[in-house]
Structure 1
C-alpha cells in the first residue's frame, strides 16, 4: 500500500484501510441488492416499496463514496470493482428474483441484519484507532438501522412481531412470509 502521512500512524491507517475496504464492498453489494429488489418486487403495496427502496439505494451509494474517500485520505486505494465485492464477500449473494413485497422485505431484513452487525463490529475496531472513521461508521449504521425499521414495519404485527423472526437466511425469511 502506498504510504500516506496520517495523524494516526501508518500501521493503524493500514488496519483502517483494510477494515473500511470490506465495509465499502459490503455497501456496494447492498446498493446493488437494493436496486435488484426495486426492479423485482411485485404484488400489493408494490409502488410504496418500489418508491421506498430508491432513496435507500442513493443513500447507500453515498455511504460507499464516503468510505472510499476516507480510504483515500488514509493513503489507500479504494476498490469499487465487482472483483473487490467478490474478494471481500463473507456473505451469500442475494438469492431472490421476482417475488412478492413481503418475501423481498423479509429477505432484506436478513441482509440488513448482516450489514448492520458488520458495521457495528467495524465501529468497535475503528473506535480503538480513529474517532473520525468511527464517527463515519456510527452515522451510517444509524441510517441503516432506520432503513431496516422501514422494511420491518411493513411486516410487523401490532406487537412488533415478524413472521420470519427465527429465520437466518434470505430464502428462509422469504418462505416464512409467503
Structure 2
C-alpha cells in the first residue's frame, strides 16, 4: 500500500484500511440485497415495503461511497468488485427469490443483525486507531439500526415479539 500522509502509524493505517474494506464489501452486498428484496417482494402490503426499501438502498450505497473515499484518503485502494464482495463475505448469500413481505422482511432482519453486529465490532477496532473512521462507522450504524427498526415494525406484534 502506498504511503499517505496521515498522523496514524503506517501499520495502523494498513489494519484500518483492511477493516474498512470488509465493511465496504458488506455495505455493497447489503445494498444489492436490499434492491433484490425491492424487486422480489409480493403480497398485500407490497407497495409499502417496496417504497420503504429504495431509500435504504440509496443510503447504504452512499455509506459504501463514504467508506471507499475514507480508504482512499488513508492511501488504500478501495475494491468494489463482485469477487471482493464474495471474498470478504462471512455470511450465507441471501437465498429468497420472489416471496412474501413477511418472508423477505424476516430474512432481511437477520441480514441487518449481522451487518449491524459487524459494524459495531469495527467501531471498537477503529476507535483504537482513528476517531474519524470510528465516527463514520458510528453514524452509519445508527442509520442501519433505524432501517432495521423499520423492517421489524412490519414483523412485530403489539408486544414486540417476532414470530420466526
Distance 2:161 2:130 in 1: 38
Distance apart, 1:4 and its partner CA: 1.1
Distance 2:135 2:72 in 1: 17
Distance 1:79 1:126 in 2: 19
Residues 61-140 of structure 1: pairs in structure 2 closer than 5 A: 61-140=61-140
Q: Which runs of 4+ in 1 moved over 4 A?
A: none
Distance apart, 1:27 and its partner CA: 0.2
For residues 16-55 of structure 1, the C-alpha deviation after alignment (integer angstroms, 9 at most, x for no partner) is: 0000000000000000000000000000110000000000
Distance apart, 1:105 and its partner CA: 0.3
Distance 1:69 1:91 in 2: 25
- 2:57 aligned residue: 57
Distance 1:87 1:52 in 2: 29
Distance 2:94 2:40 in 1: 12
RMSD between aligned residues: 0.9
Distance 1:86 1:48 in 2: 31
For residues 98-133 of structure 1, the C-alpha deviation after alignment (integer angstroms, 9 at most, x for no partner) is: 000000000000000000000000000000000000
Distance apart, 1:3 and its partner CA: 1.4
Aligned residue for 1:122, secondary structure, equals helix
